[in-house]
Amino acid sequence: MAASRDNIVLIGMPGAGKSTVGVLLAKRLGLGFIDTDILIQQREGRSLQALIAAHGAEAFCRIEEGHLLSLALASHVIAPGGSVVYSSKAMAHLKAGGCVVHLDITVEQLKRRLHDVDGRGVVIAPGQTIDGLYAHRRPLYLAYADATVRTDGVTPEEAVRAVISAVTRWGHPPASPAR
Q: Give CA–CA dist 111/5, Å, rounded.
A: 34
Instruction: State pTM to two decimals.
Output: 0.90
**Residue 5 above 80 pLDDT?**
no
Per-residue CA distances from 65 to 70, 84, 105, 170, 179 (Å): 9, 7, 24, 26, 35
29 versus 117: the higher-pLDDT residue is: 29
Q: Could you give the domains of the chain?
A: 7-170 (3.40.50.300)
Q: What is the mean pLDDT of the chain?
A: 88
